[in-house]
Amino acid sequence: MKPFIWFGLLVAISGCTLGSDESDTTEGSNEEQALALRRCSRGQTRCSGNGVQICGANGRWGTVVTCAGQQSCVNGACVSVCMPGSTQCSGNGVQICGANGTFGAPVPCVNQCLNGVCVN
């Protein structure tokens, strides 16, 4: 019985109580930490699934805007994902897919672009 008495004395001296629910104080700090993680800087962007979120003036993330077509969200922006070396038309220009899997700026065609190639 002596170990039990010492344990009870130790609990009494430390101010701890067995079976008490002191989770409210720790939950509050966890909620504050979670809130801090959700805060963002106005205009900041991030990917959420295959969509982009923009941070509003209130420091909170806005509604997810899904990337269109064959685009994917990369580093907070919708980008065309492609096979390096492949081409596509963009307006009256040809875009070439770079090693990073995204299309570069279009190179204007003299006449027109058809199926990723400038034609006469």
Domain boundaries, the chain: 39-80, 82-120
Distance in angstroms (rounded) separating the CA atoms of residues 28 and 49:
29
pTM for the model stands at 0.43
For residue 65, pLDDT over 90 is answered with yes
Task: Name the nearest CA neighbour of 59 among 77, 44, 79, 80.
Answer: 44
**pLDDT tens digits, residue range 86-116?**
999 999 999 998 888 888 999 999 999 999 9
**6-10, 22-26, 28-32, 76-80: the lowest-pLDDT one:** 6-10
**Has residue 7 got a pLDDT over 70?**
no
Element (H, E) at 51: strand 51-54
Q: Looking at residues 54-82, what average pLDDT do you find?
A: 89
